[in-house]
Amino acid sequence: MTLQIDPSLHPFFNPKGIALIGASTDPNKLGYALARNLVQCNYQGELHFVNPKGGTLLGRKIYTHILEVPEPVDLAILLVPAITVPGLLRDVGRRGISAAIIGSGGFREVGPEGAALEEECVAIARKYHIRLLGPNCIGIMNTHLPLDATFLPPPPPRPGDVAFISQSGAILAAVIDWARGQDLGLSHLISLGNQADICETDVLAPVAADVHTNVLTLYLEGVRDGRRFVREASQVARLKPIVALKVGRFASGQRAVASHTGALAGRESAFNAAFWRAGVIRAETSEEMFDWARALAWCPLPKGRSIAILTSAGGPGVTAADALEINGMQLAELQLETVTCLKQILPAAASLLNPVDLLATATPEQYAASLQCLLRDDGVHGVLIILPPLPMQTAGAVAKALIPVIYSADKPVVIALMGERLIQEAIEHFRAAHIPEYRFPERAASALAILAERAEFLARPEEVPQIFEDVERERVEQLLAPYVKASPANLEGIALPTEVVIQILNAYRIPTQPAGLAKTKDEAAALAEKIGFPVAMKIASPAIAHKSDIGGVLLNVADPLSVAQGFEIIQRNAQQAHPDAEILGVHVQRMLPEGQDVIIGGIHDDQFGALVMFGSGGVEVEGLKDVAFALAPLTDHEANQILQKTWAGRKLSGYRNLSPADREATIIALKRLAQLVADFPQISEFEINPLRVMAPGEGVYAIDVRARVKA
Amino acid sequence: MTLQIDPSLHPFFNPKGIALIGASTDPNKLGYALARNLVQCNYQGELHFVNPKGGTLLGRKIYTHILEVPEPVDLAILLVPAITVPGLLRDVGRRGISAAIIGSGGFREVGPEGAALEEECVAIARKYHIRLLGPNCIGIMNTHLPLDATFLPPPPPRPGDVAFISQSGAILAAVIDWARGQDLGLSHLISLGNQADICETDVLAPVAADVHTNVLTLYLEGVRDGRRFVREASQVARLKPIVALKVGRFASGQRAVASHTGALAGRESAFNAAFWRAGVIRAETSEEMFDWARALAWCPLPKGRSIAILTSAGGPGVTAADALEINGMQLAELQLETVTCLKQILPAAASLLNPVDLLATATPEQYAASLQCLLRDDGVHGVLIILPPLPMQTAGAVAKALIPVIYSADKPVVIALMGERLIQEAIEHFRAAHIPEYRFPERAASALAILAERAEFLARPEEVPQIFEDVERERVEQLLAPYVKASPANLEGIALPTEVVIQILNAYRIPTQPAGLAKTKDEAAALAEKIGFPVAMKIASPAIAHKSDIGGVLLNVADPLSVAQGFEIIQRNAQQAHPDAEILGVHVQRMLPEGQDVIIGGIHDDQFGALVMFGSGGVEVEGLKDVAFALAPLTDHEANQILQKTWAGRKLSGYRNLSPADREATIIALKRLAQLVADFPQISEFEINPLRVMAPGEGVYAIDVRARVKA
């Protein structure tokens, strides 16, 4: 697979010539620091400094105007007061330069005046076809080109294979300093700043296309266009792993919601669903992100989740075994030949079961030979080696013996090097050999789990969502139109009458139970006779969302007289609870036999568009929180997975004396609902709760439904 | 509160004279390394070396026999081949020394022969009243005494205020090396080895009594006597915090269980319940344990969970806000005076809301003055300061400005120092000032959360479990006796007949529904008439655990004829499913009105004794896993908390259109069940599922019950 790279971004990744506008001879200015880094970084293209004061800087001429700068120059860097940026950007355009980094602050981040200035820049850039990075950014680094177009204090990080793309300049600066301390090599570093033009999604493909980059790491506070991010990230992630630290988890604020689906969704569910579809690995902390990045950059992927632990001490072996299980991995059961192989190497008191314990007398040769035995075992998909301080051997000697074995392995091997000072030499050996080492077994175990997750993602079929052709799309369009029109903008939209929701379900072939709307008690009795007893009765009022809360529901009504009486009771209850609500009558539905009740719902997320939810339904859905989300429409794999993520979905296959239910029909209903919410962005929330799942082969029925539309 | 210290342990903590048996002049031997450490550590007591070869070592005489060693000597250290230990230990006893550390390996850890040798040592120690540490241990360190009685390579860790007690020698060695690298000071280090005599519980009080120790950290693979551990740890934790890393989470293996409670319990639930009662803080990783230990050792405790974030960059501020919320903390809402105070200090573009963002131009003075404003705010219970690399200031200068303000604060302040090389000076300042600093905001946030947890533990009332006096203990004893007698040892015990379980419930005043046992269909019909219709009918057979699985249950049986027919149906189903099962008849029970169904259960854990469980009941209990455990008997606080931990418990107070239920009666039933399982260790499992909770004031009823006893 090859990635589509936008050619207008090339100057940011391989500029032929750079002009720094705002180069300064004052060593206390950022314009000096950036000039110094450009010169010192050994950049092989042309460098031009621009400052109206002229003069020389670091042995080079300073041009007084960008228009004077000779060819080649395809990237301008502006580090000047914000107020002067628009004018200078215009000059950049006139000079025919089509890429600019605006390092200066003082734009959108400082308030409305800055925002206006930023918009002016965007307009100028559009007019002159300039691509912009920033403003308010630290710049870019490419350690292999090499290029250091930042104003950070030297030295830059070591060249390596992990790229870091950041929506926070401070985090970028901290990561560079931290990576230097950890001796972690980096490839590309991109500070996105205010993202007036280029955003996180734009740079994914160009960074992934770089041969030196094995892993992309992202610090994200949000994404500009959710669906575009998912599309781009999906493509990139098939080629190279993406690990993202997404923050701003709780910043979404409260919005009024009318359904369980809406209350449970929130922005984080959407991000998780998007990352899941795209194969983006979500880290919870910065340390996790780089722990995982090293393993992803350097290790072959495992064929499964069975791991062998090789240790010379029992305690850390137990810790590692725990950590593996917490991370969803398991201890491999060693084959007989493996145990025999180990027996020939190790003393009698050693433990030959997994974890394999070499004892404190372990030699470098025993470590290496035991690892060889373990790697030959087909049931072992990866090895976690624990290296505590040994009384008689240096960790460095053990590292030297292990490295050739790990090098020739086609299975991942990670190291928990325990301690700090006594293991420095070993750390250096492993780092130089690109073998991931961690200070504690827990972190090594979590890295192995991520390798397994990555392998599973790559094995996931590249399906397209199933689209049902038998749906009546125009019919739904017509049904929605009057309500969309009536819905006030900027609000939560308006609820659809139940009978409209049912017609929509019919149009998308999602089964509902036999039912009708009665306007009088006599109509209700007649309808019930037609549908067949017993029936359920529910108040019909778009203003009343949770009908059973106010006595608006009667179940198991068995004869015409009771139906007529029930009609009056329900009307009275509803009027008392909501005196101003418009009441359309009472829905009469056939009571269905028992089954498994689930909730399926869809919402329209502002960032990622249509999402579906599946889980344990009923009134307790918000309490149990047994729900999972996915982007709509759904592939077959996704529909199956979303079921497996919840207890509600797992138990559809039966559990103890709970009979199995119609899992297939549930999946079809879920996919049809996904298609519906994906087809109609005007549907802000759509919920079937419960969806009654009958015995296998007997289908599903939407029992209670609600939906809202928005202009 | 003062701790009770066992005087026989004094020689381990403050020996007057030490004899090293097995001192060696060969620098490659551990007997040399230990002698060297004893000499070099600046120990102020007397040191005596013993080796049958005699000679001198490090300028001191080597005695050929322990009996020759002059006074004072109250601690012997044996580092000799295992086979010679019993004889030498006997000599130690004859010499009148009552404390010994056996460093040698070759005991229980190597197999049955070693175990026999270990038992011999224990017998000798008992005879001569010698307390033993080890065998197979690394020894002890006390950095303040000072004493280094280990054979680890020098230098020892820096003196500090965190003690570390370890059941793994390798982990102890790794932690010492790691702590040196991290410049973390330690007070006591104790390697427990095989724990032939002294175990983890024994050393808690003596370590806590040390004035230099502020926090105890433990590496645990298990505890010897669960209830004793809880008693001791509870006392100690009131005085000084205990943080434990408990591993071996998944090592418990599978045991056959007959009830949901049994299946869900497992060893980890027992440990969590025990730690919870004792106030022991459970860390998930080694890094967490020491991250938390530093905060606990150095910070005042917060009065609540509202935190202010002080940062000079937006990105890490968002990360920190997320991390606080994930850890159950919240962002403080700043008072108007605080905002006014900040406004006077900071530039116009700074963010004065929480997180307070000083911007990248922040000066050391602005950091310090802003912190002062925040600390004066009564709504701020603690402050998380983020210090990313600043373009114009060194982190060291900011640290120097902040330290005096933090010093005089009575609220906790923790630092996220981001980066690595540029912040080295700041790290050193903060460490020297005993202010906890972390590389990432996530870890700083989790440390603040632990301080809040500690404060809440200390505020928890010191209640004793409520004991009901109206129970008939002797009656239960009599009821259980025949079954306990009949139960085969070493097995899962035997199930009690339902009517016996009901009698036990009656004896402990836990309400059951009106019911009886019918042996014939006519008896069943007559019984139903007496109880009142409708009734439920259930097969009575101790061999059938899950009655509804095999068609052994009928509900809502409405008249005598149906009861008689039902009797025959149930009998037939049970005989078909379990042809060999003894069938005693059919239980007939009054059907109860609807309510909230919960599960309450009790089990006897091998390590911690009686445990109770509460949660969502029904057949799905193992799928939903909405359960919580506590040690029995229960205090009022614990009973309330265990309810709050589960959705089943929270919804007892009502939720939306789910009516509230009788929470008080549920708590009483739970406490009575806890008392029952605590009173009778022979009850291995006892489960009420469901317990039907009626409307407030209308009580609870045990609907279905099962119990097993064991000899």
Amino acid at A315: G
Tokens found for residue A25: 């001879």
Tokens found for residue B658: 């789910």
Is A549–B221 a contact, with Cβ atoms under 8 angstroms apart? no
Count of A-B CB contacts under 8 Å: 224
* Partners of residue B221 in chain A, C-beta under 8 Å: 315, 318
Is B248–A322 a contact, with Cβ atoms under 8 angstroms apart? yes
* Partners of residue B546 in chain A, C-beta under 8 Å: 656-657
The answer, yes or no, to whether the previous bond of A154 is cis (omega within 30 of 0) is no
CA distances from B515 to B505, B538, B665, B702 (A): 13, 11, 20, 11
Is A418–B171 a contact, with Cβ atoms under 8 angstroms apart? yes
Is A284–B442 a contact, with Cβ atoms under 8 angstroms apart? yes
What's the DSSP call for residue B333?
A: P
Q: Structural domains in chain B? A: 7-153 (3.40.50.720), 300-459 (3.40.50.261), 514-591 (3.30.1490.20)
Closest by CA position to B65, among listed B90, B32, B102? B90
Is A110–B349 a contact, with Cβ atoms under 8 angstroms apart? yes
* Partners of residue B651 in chain A, C-beta under 8 Å: 620, 623
To test the contact with chain B by mutation, choose from A245, A267, A271, A285 the residue with the greatest count of B C-beta atoms within 10 A, namely A285
Distance from CA of B486 to the nearest CA of A (A): 30
Residue A527 to residue B573: CA distance in whole angstroms: 41
Residue with tokens 């159950």: B328
* Nearest residue in A to B623, CA atom: A647
Q: Pairing state of beta strands A585-590 and A535-540?
A: antiparallel
* Partners of residue B174 in chain A, C-beta under 8 Å: 316, 388-389, 418-419
What's the DSSP call for residue B80?
A: S
* Rg, C-alpha atoms of chain A: 31
What's the DSSP call for residue B258?
A: S
pLDDT value at residue A419: 86
* Nearest residue in B to A438, CA atom: B287
Is B420–A180 a contact, with Cβ atoms under 8 angstroms apart? yes
Helices (H), A434-559: 441-459, 473-486, 498-507, 521-531
Distance from CA of B287 to the nearest CA of A (A): 8
* Nearest residue in A to B548, CA atom: A657
pLDDT value at residue A256: 36
pLDDT value at residue A261: 54
Closest by CA position to B430, among listed B179, B69, B184? B184
Nearest to A248 among B174, B250, B322 (CB): B322
* Nearest residue in A to B245, CA atom: A319
- Under the phi-then-psi rule, with left for phi > 0, alpha for psi from -120 to 50, and beta for the rest, what region is B262? alpha
pLDDT value at residue A172: 93
Helix (H/G/I), strand (E/B), else coil: A382: strand
Is A623–B655 a contact, with Cβ atoms under 8 angstroms apart? yes
Tokens found for residue B393: 């200031």
Q: Which residues contact A52 (CB under 8 A, 6 or more apart)?
A: A64, A65
Distance from CA of B70 to the nearest CA of A (A): 32
Is A546–B657 a contact, with Cβ atoms under 8 angstroms apart? yes
* Nearest residue in A to B386, CA atom: A170
| φ and ψ at residue B669, rounded to 5 degrees | -60, -40
Closest by CA position to B217, among listed B279, B288, B283, B164? B164
Calculate ∠ Cα B158-B218-A415, nearest 5°.
80
Calculate ∠ Cα A354-A358-A362, nearest 5°.
160
Residue segments in chain A with a per-residue pLDDT below the cut of 70 = 1, 249-267, 489-491, 619
Complex ipTM:
0.80
* Nearest residue in B to A114, CA atom: B349
* Nearest residue in A to B439, CA atom: A178
User: Model-level pTM?
Assistant: 0.86
pLDDT value at residue A252: 33
CB B269 within 8 A of CB B614: no
Bridge partners (DSSP) of residue A416 are: A386, A438
* Partners of residue B323 in chain A, C-beta under 8 Å: 285
* Nearest residue in B to A386, CA atom: B170
Other CB atoms within 10 A of residue A405 CB: 18
With 0-12 / 13-18 / 19 or more C-beta atoms within 10 angstroms meaning exposed / middle / buried, residue B458 is middle
* Partners of residue A422 in chain B, C-beta under 8 Å: 153, 177
The answer, yes or no, to whether the previous bond of B465 is cis (omega within 30 of 0) is no
Bridge partners (DSSP) of residue A33 are: none
Which helix (H) or strand (E) element contains residue B535? Answer: strand B535-540
Other CB atoms within 10 A of residue B38 CB: 26
Residue A628 to residue A644: CA distance in whole angstroms: 9
pLDDT value at residue B655: 85
Is A655–B619 a contact, with Cβ atoms under 8 angstroms apart? yes
Is A322–B624 a contact, with Cβ atoms under 8 angstroms apart? no
Handedness of CA A660, A661, A665, A671 (dihedral sign): negative
Nearest to A177 among B178, B179, B420 (CB): B420
Nearest to A546 among B110, B312, B656 (CB): B656
To test the contact with chain A by mutation, choose from B309, B386, B422 the residue with the greatest count of A C-beta atoms within 10 A, namely B422
Half-sphere exposure of A355 (CA within 13 A, CB side): 26
Is A312–B251 a contact, with Cβ atoms under 8 angstroms apart? no
* Nearest residue in A to B249, CA atom: A322
* Partners of residue A152 in chain B, C-beta under 8 Å: 389
Helices (H), A535-584: 560-577
pLDDT value at residue A248: 74
Tokens found for residue B688: 């009420």
To test the contact with chain A by mutation, choose from B252, B285, B351, B390 the residue with the greatest count of A C-beta atoms within 10 A, namely B285
Other CB atoms within 10 A of residue B192 CB: 27
Residue B659 to residue A501: CA distance in whole angstroms: 29
* Partners of residue A420 in chain B, C-beta under 8 Å: 177-182
Provide block-wise average pLDDT over 10 residues at a time, chain B (711 residues): 87 97 93 96 96 95 95 96 96 96 91 93 97 95 96 91 94 90 93 95 96 96 91 95 84 40 65 93 91 96 97 88 91 95 91 89 95 97 94 91 96 94 91 93 95 95 88 96 82 84 96 89 92 88 80 86 91 89 89 88 89 85 83 93 93 87 96 96 93 94 91 79
* Partners of residue A656 in chain B, C-beta under 8 Å: 546, 549, 619
Is A181–B420 a contact, with Cβ atoms under 8 angstroms apart? yes
Helix (H/G/I), strand (E/B), else coil: A598: strand
* Nearest residue in B to A166, CA atom: B315
Residue B681 to residue B610: CA distance in whole angstroms: 7
Is A623–B650 a contact, with Cβ atoms under 8 angstroms apart? yes
pLDDT value at residue A251: 47
Which helix (H) or strand (E) element contains residue B226? Answer: helix B226-239
CA distances from B310 to B314, B357, B362, B396 (A): 10, 6, 11, 17
Is A170–B439 a contact, with Cβ atoms under 8 angstroms apart? no
